[in-house]
Structure 1
Amino acid sequence: MSEAVSKKGAGPFSAFERMVAWRYLRSKRKETVISVISMISFIGIMLGVATLIIVMAVMNGFRAELLDRILGINGHLVVQPIESGLDDYEEIAARFNGIAGVRYAIPHVDGQVLASGRRTAGTGALIRGVRAEDLAKMDSVSGNIQQGSLEGFSGDQGVAIGSRMAESLGLSVGDPITFASADGDVTPFGTTPRVKSYPVIAVFQLGMSEYDASVVFMPIEEAQLFFNSDGVAQSIEIFVDNPDAVDELRPAIEDAAMRPVFLTDWRQRNQTFFSALQVERNVMFMILTLIVLVAALNIISGLFMLVKDKGRDIAILRTMGATSGSVMRIFFMTGAAIGVVGTIAGVILGVIVCLNVESIRQFFSWLSGTTIFNPELYFLSQLPARMDIAETISVVLMALTLSFLATLFPAWRAAKLDPVDALRYE
């Protein structure tokens, strides 16, 4: 039996090698320091992987929620005329609606005004003139009505305003809101500002303070009269099923317009904001990777101490017929086991936290007596977390790669240990 082992050696990752590696992982009284280092390495990798998964999931959730909020009332593609106004906007919008991948197209008229209510101080506002049926399609508005309803949204029957604007102007449903525009009537004495009041029929809350404090929805017919653009729409906003695939729809939209148009998508209009989010996300990934790297360095130090402590055992294994490759695989499995188990534990911990992140936030808010993640500052009522499978897999592969690389050099040193030198002073 011993002759066979000396000739062939143990097979790669055989039961013998796994048994020895497992015994080296087990804690003994005289190996307390090594066991503590291994436990620290395990905890470091677990926390590093879990933190990476949680932070990336929260940042993905932030991006998705902000994208939904920003694009809730702004189209993914904006079609603007080049030569003349869109006096045939209804026909063009109908052709856009027939394109596969287009959810709906909304013609609108925009204008800046000064809005005032019961309180003397006025505030700047953006009037968006849209059709009643189009406003009903915008779930971010029609699905978040706090007061009133959109049933009377037509002609000059009333307007819908944001909750923060209603609060700042002291308005509620039924109260009049007054708009003043510099583009008014032309008289022999010059252009006079146009001032007109409308009743508030609905108060909505989008969840973005910028929109809730400044956007007003008005029936498109009344907006055309108010801004001296009777029968003409300024642009058509197109909402698509997949915002990341807007480039694929550009040729079909240009053909359906049947006239020269200028197209801008949501990425061009919000390039600075989403680029900053992407840069922050990448930097956070690199910074948090250092946690896993530090844990991997602990694996190196622990294995070096284990190799030094097991020098006599390595020499005995070599004299019994174990090859240098077998010794290297034994110590590789010893270190890799810490990385694999730590990574698995980190994934489990990260998934559990991501699935219960809002409950955890509420618990810590209750524990500290403060509001963690204040909706008034972050514009979102809940802490979002959205895990991405591909991203989670990349975190797992990164952690395993660092763990495996950390074990190679100590395992190679163990394989190169000379049995004669190891036993000389024993």
Structure 2
Amino acid sequence: MLKLPFELFVGLRYTRAKRRNGFISFISFSSIIGIALGVTALITVLSIMNGFQEELRDRILGMTAHMTITEQHEHLSDWQPLYEQVKQQPDILGAAPNIMEQGMLTYNGKVKGVAIRGILPVYENEVGDIAQKMRYGSLEALKPGQFSIILGKELALSLGVSIGDKVTLIAPQGSVSAVGIIPRIKRFTIVGFFEAGMHEYDSGLALIHLKDAQTLFKYGDSVSGLQLKIDDLFRVGEVKQELANHLQQTLYVRDWRQQHLNFFKAIEMEKRMMFIVLALIIMVAAFNIVSTMVMVVTDKQADIAVLRTLGATPNSIQWIFIIQGLVIGLFGALLGLVGGISLASNIDVIVPFIENLLGFKFFPPDVYYISQVPSKIIWSDVYSVSGIAFILTLLATLYPARKAAKVQPAEALRYE
């Protein structure tokens, strides 16, 4: 038969034993439930925020490339040799040239400022998912010299246009005449609409053919830059360094983290604040353990005195109550761990059930771009939450355990 250490045996026996004071048992139970609820809430909320972050990142990167190569102060000329050069790199999955400029679209007296992106449809599918986001028409409808245009869905609704309508595009690059600088104006035929699920793109982006953009914005044979798609978007720093070592010419490389730095920083900051706020639930439960253990020590003073007279050292008494407190905390943490992982893994089933039960939607499709609650469990978050719960539980047992170790046998047994 396995022989447990003295301190572990007594500590577990105290945990299993029926206490004479029912109130102490109730507080112990409430402490376990409090830690379990805190851990469950923290894992679930962090998983939902990870899901939102991943969903937004996928939507953004579906419309933009992982990296963009440009000239620092001028247009990128001779992009074809550069395209062949970067395509030979093992980490590069695709590349596509583009032109990014600003302009104004007008239709029936309505005016909208938009970002104009000139693309080559045959290359664009290598770096983005715009083709999958088309609601009407296709990228192949953009033909050079035909001056056709594809608009975001919200942009089209705000202008009140449909397929086949002609809109006027005004470019800031003007032509010099005797009366001054005249803006360049060109009529474009609408051949399609896309819906990216991001307000920034759906309401302010228009796509035209690269050749038409070069003509309108006076680029000649140059482009704004070369967009790249890599095999692992989180290795952009390493790939950027490899490109710098490989490319012969001096170029400027900008990755997706730099382009959307403030946006992702705001999401990360919100995640940290939610972590701190919800960790307070675990701290409250840990304080309950302190109060529980203090009352247990008071209730067991006679037992402590008997153990001391039988030869138990103050250190042994201290470990008995540390073990008892840790058992309460570990049970709570394990219950919360199971509950949090189960809840986060089935959030796609639980949320619709609650919506049907209450009769309303948390994210109506006509208001929010994300109509379902996404969830992604990152195990490093789970380990962090579990570690914090364990450490807080351990800290909560130290004061009551030290108090138990200081009990004097003669004082405790005086009135017994």
Aligned 8 A contact 2:72 2:251 in 1: yes
Q: Pick closer, same or farther for the CA change 1:84–1:296 going to 2, 3 Å.
A: closer
Q: Which runs of 5+ in 2 are unaligned?
A: none
Provide the aligned C-alpha RMSD in A. 2.4
Q: Does 1:206 align with 2:196?
A: yes
Paired residue for 1:148?
137
Partner of 1:349: 339
Aligned to 1:360: 350
Do the aligned partners of residues 286 and 107 (structure 1) sit closer, same or farther apart at CA in structure 2, a change above 3 Å counting?
same
Percent of pairs identical after alignment?
35
Q: Trace 1:275-294 onto structure 2 (pairs within 5 A).
A: 275-294=265-284
Separation in 2, partners of 1:256, 1:88: 17
**Structure-to-structure mapping, 1:266-305, within 5 angstroms:** 266-305=256-295
Match of 1:403 in 2: 393
Q: CA deviation at 1:237?
A: 2.1
CA deviation map 1:50-80 (0-9, x unaligned): 1111122122222222222223222332222
Amino acid at match of 1:365: E
1:16-165 to 2 correspondences below 5 Å: 17-26=7-16, 28=18, 30-82=20-72, 85-117=75-107, 119-157=108-146, 158-165=148-155
Which residue matches 1:422? 412
* Deviation per residue, 1:323-375 (Å, 9 max, x gap): 43333222222111111111111111111111122333323333443331345
Question: 2:65, 2:128 within 8 Å by CA — same for their partners in 1?
Answer: no
* 2:315 paired residue number: 325
Deviates more, 1:393-402 or 1:272-281: 272-281
* Deviates further, 354-363 or 215-224: 354-363
SS at match of 2:114: strand
3-state SS, counterpart of residue 202 of structure 1: strand
Larger displacement relative to structure 2 (303-312 or 164-173) = 164-173
What TM-score results when the alignment is normalised by the length of structure 2?
A: 0.91
Of 172-181 and 289-298, the range deviating more from structure 2: 172-181
Alignment gaps of 5+ in structure 1: 1-10
**TM-score, structure 1 length as denominator?**
0.89
- Please list the CA deviations of residues 88-108 of structure 1 after superposition, one character each: whole Å capped at 9, or x if unmatched: 112212211221212222211
Quote the Cα distance in structure 1 between the aligned partners of 2:325 and 2:281. 17
- 2:355 aligned partner, one-letter code: S
CA distance in 2, matches of 1:254, 1:241: 18
Q: Does 1:306 align with 2:296?
A: yes
Give the letter aligned to residue 334 of structure 1: Q
Q: Could you tell me which of 348, 367, 379 is aligned with 1:389? A: 379
Conserved 8 A contact 2:126-2:229: no
Aligned length: 414
1:398 deviates by 1.1
Report the equivalent of 1:335.
325
2-side partners of 1:403 and 1:340: how far apart?
8
Counterpart-to-counterpart distance in 2, 1:257 and 1:175: 44
Q: Which moved more, 1:138-147 or 1:393-402?
A: 138-147
SS at match of 1:122: strand
Instruction: Kindly provide the amino acid, as one letter, of the partner of residue 112 in structure 2.
Output: T
User: What is the one-letter code of the residue matched to 1:341?
Assistant: F
Q: Do 1:182 and 1:192's aligned partners in 2 also have CA atoms closer than 8 Å? A: no
Assess if the C-alpha contact under 8 Å between 2:7 and 2:319 holds in 1: yes
| Shift in Å, 1:86 | 2.1
Structure 1 residues 380 and 211: CA distance shift in structure 2, 3 A: same
Cα distance in 1, alignment partners of residues 398 and 273 from structure 2:
28
